[in-house]
Amino acid sequence: MKTAIVIGGGFAGCTWSHLLARRGFRVSLFEQAERLGGGCKTMHYGGHPYTLGPRHLFTPHHDSLEFIRSVVPLRQLHHYLLTYVEQDGQFYSYPVHADDIDEMPDREAILGEVERRGDPATARNFEEYWIASVGPTLYEKFVKSYSKKMWQIESNTLLTDFKFDGKGVQLRTGTKEVRPDYHVYYPSELAGWDTYFEICAQTPGVATHLRTRIDEVDVRHPGVRVDGQWHRADLLVSSLSPDLLLDKCYGELPYVGRELLLLVLPVEQVIPDPIFFLHYAGKQAYTRVVEYKKLTGYTSPSTLISLEFPSMTNKLYPYPIKAEQEKAARYRAECSDRVLSVGRMGNYRYYDVGDVVHEALTKIKDI
Ligand SMILES: Cc1cc2nc3c(=O)[nH]c(=O)nc-3n(C[C@H](O)[C@H](O)[C@H](O)COP(=O)(O)OP(=O)(O)OC[C@H]3O[C@@H](n4cnc5c(N)ncnc54)[C@H](O)[C@@H]3O)c2cc1C
């Protein structure tokens, strides 16, 4: 029987463990935390279930939706988002919607800029891309400060991989739903994604080792060192940042993280329907406010919201900077073809849940 080691028990590691076991591998899944789930595990505050940030399935990948739905029951959502534009003292829809321009005090100037906008295809960085897409005033209102705060950077010209934004940057007309063409879902049960991780880990053939940190990885002859002992397998699947596989020999890959401020409020709902989270585009220290019961379906006379503060204390968002992505690719190129670097960190890309599952469903076919 073939053997596989999987590092990390988040969406990537759990999905890979399940798929490999179904293909006949004997799988050892190693997770350093006490529980599976990585960034998507359900936590509780004041009785309210929540995750670190929204973590709903928001994807164009039909195979990911179908696969996840075969494991856990899902509830469909419709995703509307408002951005608070500090300089106007107003909330507007995001992506930027043509109807909202009519409500803006500088409407005439904006319409002129939109008329004269350039060609985003010639842009060299994120700032140029947005200005060419919607003009400088809308860029300033919706994107400039938000992005600098989100990435903790001095200038958006540093961001050189700028086509990652799945929300699209053209001015919208018609529906204000964020992406009506996307599948938007959250688990129907209050356990959230935890049920998915448990079912994956309980697949016959998967042995799960919690509270087990991988200290070293052999990327040429698939193996990991745990508590001073080497474990070998035919295949190694890692969801770690690729610089950690090779002792950061080409330099450390940078990430930005998040701290959450949780607040229970004595009202049933604070954010009006159909919106379920808010962006703050100005100089406020936080980027986003999420009202969790809208995702989880939890009912209570109170409500839980979180404010997300960008921080350098944890590693959650890989930078959309080409030079860093090339560095990540250099690490990945050192790995044998029996060592796969997968998931959000493993690819060093802004992968969401749908992307992570889609990657596993696609690559497993070659194994
Ligand atoms: C704030 C935030 C909000 C998000 N919201 C959404 C959203 O609304 N919708 C969406 O689709 N996507 C969202 N995403 C992205 C999505 O959650 C991720 O793409 C997905 O969870 C990545 O899964 P993963 O398994 O690759 O990584 P992770 O979930 O990070 O899992 C990696 C696992 O590896 C473990 N690990 C690390 N080092 C070791 C070690 N040395 N030994 C053993 N184990 C180790 C970690 O403990 C962790 O459990 C969000 C991301 C963030 C940061």
Q: What is the pLDDT of residues 293-342, one digit of tens each?
A: 999 999 999 999 999 999 999 999 999 999 999 999 999 999 999 999 99
Cα of 100 from ligand 1 centre, angstroms: 35
Cα of 40 from ligand 1 centre, angstroms: 7
Give the gyration radius of the chain's Cα atoms.
22
Task: Give the atom of ligand 1 at the shortest distance from the alpha carbon of 52.
Answer: 1
User: Token pair for residue 192?
Assistant: 């959230």
Q: Is the pLDDT of residue 139 over 80?
A: yes
pLDDT tens, residue by residue, 16-53: 999 999 999 999 999 999 999 999 999 999 999 999 99
Q: Which residues line ligand 1 at a C-beta cut-off of 6 Å?
A: 7-13, 30-33, 38-40, 52-58, 213-214, 239-240, 258, 316-317, 343-345, 351-354, 356
Q: Which amino acid is at 316?
A: L
Could you give the angle at which helices 62-71 and 194-201 cross, rounded to 10 degrees? 80
pTM, whole model, 2 decimals? 0.96
Strand partners, 238: 7, 341
Q: Which of 44, 77, 43, 46 is nearest to 301 (CA)?
A: 46
Phi, psi of 317 (to 5 degrees): -115, 115
- pLDDT band per the 50, 70, 90 thresholds, residue 14: very high
Cα of 185 from ligand 1 centre, angstroms: 18
Q: Strand 288-291's sheet: what is its strand order? A: 90-93, 80-85, 275-280, 288-291, 303-311, 255-265, 317-318
User: Token pair for residue 299?
Assistant: 């009912």
Per-residue model confidence (pLDDT) at position 164: 44
Q: Please compute the mean of the pLDDT values over residues 145-157 and round it to a whole number.
A: 97
Among all chains, which residue has been given the structure tokens 């947005």? Answer: 130
Cα of 335 from ligand 1 centre, angstroms: 22
Residue spans per domain, the chain: 3-41+193-247+319-366, 80-158
Per-residue model confidence (pLDDT) at position 166: 40
Give the class (CATH, top level) of 3-41+193-247+319-366: alpha beta
Task: Give the atom of ligand 1 at the shortest distance from the alpha carbon of 258.
Answer: 1
Q: Which of 224, 344, 302, 280 is nearest to 47 (CA)?
A: 302
